[in-house]
Structure 1
Amino acid sequence: MKFKSIHNPLWATTSPVIGLFCLGIGFAAPPSTIVDILLVIGLAISVVSAVHHAEVIAHRVGEPYGTLVLALAVTAIEVALIVSMMIAGGEHPGTFGLARDTVFAAVMLILNGIIGFSLLAGSRRHRTQKYQIHSITAALVTLTAIVSLTLVLPNFTSSSHGPTYTTAQLIFVAIVTLVLFIAFTVFQTIDYRDYFLPLIDGKPADESIGDIDKPSNGETWASLVLLFIGLVVVVLSAKKLAPTLEIGLEAVGAPRAVVGIVIAMIVLLPEGVAAVRAALNDRVQTSLNLAAGSAIASIGLTIPTVAIVALVMGWPLELGLDQKSSVLLFISLFITSISLRTGKTNKLIGTVHITLLAVYLFLSFVP
């Protein structure tokens, strides 16, 4: 594979290796402030390189496959992180709600953070940007169904008290969630792929066709490997930093659910940076593809996986949100369905989403 090229410059190929080196020190050396600083440095440069390699892959395969690769890669590693933390936590009470807290945080950060900052950044530079309404409608319909079934409905079933499903209900909902994720992926990549293509002169355009400057197969495979390494470094660094984060959160009196927010923030950082950069480059459709794909994949893959773990370990998997979180979730879904129904962006829409993000974060620390 060719690692040096206009698509994979030296900094992009060495950054994941440096991040991996910092991670190795983190596992080999005893905990200390210096080790934590190295982990943060490795995490930061790995995020930047992951975004670069995701863009190389997207350039080669075109939309929406490029954004789907990043969304699936990040979600797969997010699932691995959640499962490993669940198993490590054993029967600690906080373990049973970790998946719910992380998935809910991911959805709120995507709907209000990634979308909000992308719309605001893109509108500030380009004033008004256009995207395809069909893609957003399909994504929001799927996301609303999955979120409602997994995070809200458990509070209202009568067979199981509290925020849990019975074994039969959990198996059924896990299957339904996976079916909806697969159905959306097929819709996005096969049946109606043109709905997710960027608009050029008002028409969907597959920019990967006829592009003589596309990365070669070797460059693309190199970026895929380096992307995976970068994401692994991001997630494992976050796991190593988790004890320090938990101590810091306890010191300021933050609720335990905030741990899920921190995990989601770190895991979604590469996608968030990629989405904002796409909007700044007048590719808001790519930004929205990333946001929608990440949200649906985050739940569609996480819930079935943690359901299997919970059933095997015999743990009560807590999925239902409390009343405050349910209200915030429905407000976010409602606002998103209104703000993205015109096919055009503006700064006000982005500001509203970011304000909702601020409300969510504030009420998470001051419930």
Structure 2
Amino acid sequence: MRRAAFRLPAAAWTAAVPLVSLLALVFGWGRDLPGFAVAIVALCLAGAVLAAVHHAEVVAHRVGEPFGSLVLAVAVTVIEVALIVTLMVDGGPKTASLARDTVFAAVMITCNGIVGLSLLVGALRNRVAVFNAEGSGAALASVATLATLSLVLPTFTTAKPGPEFSAAQLTFAACASLALYGLFVSVQTIRHRDYFLPVVTGTDRGDDRHAAPPTARAALISLGLLLVSLVAVVGNAKAVSPTIESAVTEAGLPQAVVGVVIALLVLLPETLAAVRAASRDRVQTSLNLAYGSALASIGLTIPAIAVASLWLSGPLLLGLGPVHMVLLALTVAVGTLTVVPGRATLLQGGVHLVVLAAYLFLAVSP
């Protein structure tokens, strides 16, 4: 029996909300919004997040795993990169560390928040969450390598003072990021695709497998509406960012909190999609979304920033401080111990969420 979620969404709220959110973006772009307008934009932002998750699931059901999770991860990250570059071009010296703050926030949210929530939901449902250790381990190793090359090494290089890369070093980091991300995608989707497929258990509801896949036309419409939803999510996040920045300044919080809030908003679609997948006993799909998003965030952002640095004025701070390096090392260590067995309980999910809570607390109170 075909599920309603995979019918042509032409007249559904999931088709109307992205368009309304896009209109709110058009009318609010570049304007100093009053309080009631910010509230409306925030509502549109929330609706666009829910619509993005729906359309991502439609596309994923059409193309299958692991392509489905890759679609959402790459789409969100491409628009996130555009948002970072736009804010850096317009923001002046105070945005010198925005790329670093946002990318690191994305890594912590995906590798601890999304992974932790997914394991928690999967373990609550089946007592033990089961996934492919081979695929998840390879993804985590790639994330750790890219994060170290792009966010840790700039703190220790000496070609340029401060936590910065020289032009040659930034070029190398950009090329290495693109090469490793391209290699990972090729392994995930072609050579070792079976490592990234959900593990079938006796309690798997199998809703997606038994439901008839959407037609090519319905999937294309959902793909278009997914892109519209993501543009609305990121654009409206940018529209409310001045309010966020003002609130952060008035509260006396560090500027890095802005990057954290923006990353939280932008990653909402992937978080909801991952939790829904885990609730259907598809923990591997959730991990694909989490680690794939972290990889895309680094692998696409660093090359984009390298190109943008040609016309960006001022320093480009990429190196992490000691506290964040410790949190990154802890994340990699905990993640390794989580994925190697291919099984996880409530404890592993809780540990990841505690690491995320520590990061968020220290971002507010360094």
TM-score by length of 2: 0.94
1:264 matched to 2:263: yes
**117-126 or 313-322, larger mean C-alpha shift:** 313-322
The Cα of 1:161 is off from its aligned counterpart by 2.1
Deviations 1:229-252 (A, max 9, x none): 100111010101011001111121
1:347 matched to 2:346: yes
Distance 1:154 1:29, change over 3 A: closer
Deviations 1:254-311 (A, max 9, x none): 1001111011111111000100111011110100000010000000000010111113
Deviations 1:199-240 (A, max 9, x none): 1248xxx9988x670000000000000000100111010101
The Cα of 1:26 is off from its aligned counterpart by 2.3
1:154 corresponds in structure 2 to 154
Q: Residue type matched to 2:7 in 1?
A: I
Q: Is the 8 A contact 1:61 1:208 kept in 2?
A: no
For the residue of structure 1 that corresponds to 2:349, the secondary structure is helix
1:69 corresponds in structure 2 to 71
Deviations 1:59-118 (A, max 9, x none): 00000000000000000000000000011113x2x2221100100000011111111111
The Cα of 1:17 is off from its aligned counterpart by 1.7
Q: Is the 8 A contact 2:58 2:222 kept in 1?
A: yes
CA distance in 1, matches of 2:194, 2:220: 25
Deviations 1:30-55 (A, max 9, x none): 52111001100100000000000000
Q: Residue type matched to 1:39 in 2?
A: V
CA distance in 1, matches of 2:361, 2:313: 34
Distance 1:331 1:53, change over 3 A: same
1:190 matched to 2:190: yes
1:131 matched to 2:131: yes
1:99 matched to 2:99: yes
CA distance in 1, matches of 2:151, 2:30: 39
1:57 corresponds in structure 2 to 59
For the residue of structure 2 that corresponds to 1:165, the secondary structure is coil
2:49 corresponds in structure 1 to 47
Q: Percent of aligned positions with the same letter in both sequences? A: 47
Q: Is the 8 A contact 1:130 1:284 kept in 2?
A: yes
Aligned residues: 359
1:19 corresponds in structure 2 to 21
1:240 corresponds in structure 2 to 239
For the residue of structure 2 that corresponds to 1:266, the secondary structure is helix
CA distance in 1, matches of 2:121, 2:5: 31
**234-243 or 18-27, larger mean C-alpha shift:** 18-27
Q: Residue type matched to 1:172 in 2?
A: F
RMSD (CA atoms): 2.0
Q: Is the 8 A contact 1:310 1:316 kept in 2?
A: no
1:79 corresponds in structure 2 to 81
For structure 1, list consecutive stretches of 5 or more residues without a partner in the other structure.
Answer: none
Q: Is the 8 A contact 1:4 1:10 kept in 2?
A: no
The Cα of 1:148 is off from its aligned counterpart by 0.4
Q: Is the 8 A contact 2:164 2:316 kept in 1?
A: yes
2:315 corresponds in structure 1 to 316
Q: Is the 8 A contact 2:5 2:58 kept in 1?
A: no
1:295 corresponds in structure 2 to 294
The Cα of 1:127 is off from its aligned counterpart by 1.7
Q: Residue type matched to 2:352 in 1?
A: H
Distance 1:156 1:339, change over 3 A: same
Q: Is the 8 A contact 1:60 1:208 kept in 2?
A: no
For the residue of structure 2 that corresponds to 1:227, the secondary structure is helix
Distance 1:36 1:314, change over 3 A: closer
CA distance in 1, matches of 2:195, 2:236: 37
CA distance in 2, matches of 1:85, 1:227: 23
**283-292 or 10-19, larger mean C-alpha shift:** 10-19
Q: Residue type matched to 1:100 in 2?
A: R
For structure 2, list consecutive stretches of 5 or more residues without a partner in the other structure.
Answer: none
For the residue of structure 2 that corresponds to 1:238, the secondary structure is helix
